[in-house]
Amino acid sequence: MKIAVPKETKFKENRVALSPEGVKELSAKGFSCIIETGAGLKSYFTDEAYTTAGATLVNDKTELYSQADVVLKVNPPLPEEAALMKKDSVLMSFMFAATNPELVEVCVKNHITSFSVDAIPRISKAQKMDALSSQANLAGYKSVILAANELGKIFPLLMTAAGTIKPAKVLIMGAGVAGLQAIATAKRLGAIVEVSDIRPETKEQVQSLGGKFIEVAGDNSVKMEGGYVKGVSEDFLKKQQELIAKHAAAADIIITTALIPGKKAPVLITEEMVKSMKLGSVILDMAVENGGNCVLSELNQTVVKHGVTIVGESNLPSLLPLNASELYSKNICTFLIHLATKEGFKWEMEEEITKGSLITHKGAVLHPSVKKEVLA
């Protein structure tokens, strides 16, 4: 099978779906790899590195897609890109299918089979395929570095002849993969770290990293599915905001990470909370691409409002493209090798990983989350 990797076209995207090391791994399994010229340059992978690893370079994107049995991407292809794929070929990328109906429609219409890496079940045997976690881990690290850069003071306690500098206070909202890495990074830099999460089971993880857990009494409205929060009531969010408001006023940095798959990000930081913060404080909103956890954040902009710097960087993993691409490449290679051999796909339709990640196949929508959207 021919595995094709096009250059990513999304704004501010520096990652590539397959590293030269990934090419070596797939070539050893008998797959043939074709790479669009220059696809890896923003991740610091030269064209020569790909050819040395065993790949063939293709200059023209249309030709690349027309040859491909399988297309590997990071971001969902634009509908017009997907339309270039040949009938019965396979797409593997982040798709966020429930919120990307046009792409799903093109895949159905053109008989393109699509697997979405964001839909891979979060089970132990799929850990090496978990691209959401690998990318979120890097995003959590980079969020602290960016916020520290915007802050006009240092993180650690510092005693000098001229006086003592108090440590910075960092408030992290959400203790998922990104949040936990943000806690660890902020602690390493010497900050006092407080953490809020609506899942009580995260308390132990937060404390093990040296963070102080801010506990909000849970209620029956908190719905969990596959390790994610799927929904919470307005009443619960109000309680959370009231408690967080006190801690926000004392924070030097707030990092928000809360997302609900397929829905707009919940508002955690109101304008009143921003106004209560100290002059020169920083908010980094990791959910800005999904509407934002802070009402004043702006997509891909760093703005100052009420004396507070608000960072709205939408693609944090892309700011660490070398590591992000290496990890994503390992994720997607493991995923592909699980699903297929060099002769073709296994089509084990009831197997847990296949069933959980398969979005479209043979002109039909198969994934339940997308079927609901289609019916709606």
Locus of tokens 């690998």: 134
Query: By CB neighbour count within 10 A (0-12 exposed, 13-18 middle, 19+ buried), where does 220 fall?
Result: exposed
**Which residue, chain included where needed, has tokens 């030709």?**
63
**Residues known to be catalytic:** 122, 127, 130, 133, 228
**221 versus 344: which is more confidently predicted?**
344
CA 258 to chain centre: 12
For the whole model, what pTM was predicted?
A: 0.91
What is the pLDDT confidence band of residue 375, given thresholds at 50, 70 and 90? very low
Please report the DSSP string for 179-203 in residue order: HHHHHHHHHHTT-EEEEE-S-GGGH
- pLDDT per position as a tens digit, 123-178: 999 999 999 999 999 999 999 999 999 999 999 999 999 999 999 999 999 999 99
What are the structural domains, with CATH classification, of the chain? 2-119+321-369 (3.40.50.720), 139-319 (3.40.50.720)
d(CA 343, CA 356): 23
Which phi and psi angles does 370 have, rounded to 5°?
A: -85, -35
Structure tokens at 179: 């949040």
Query: How large is the average pLDDT for residues 207-233?
Result: 70
Digit-coded pLDDT (tens) for 18-44: 999 999 999 999 999 999 999 999 999
Q: Is 219's pLDDT higher than 50? A: yes
Beta carbons within 8 Å of 220's beta carbon, 6+ residues apart: none
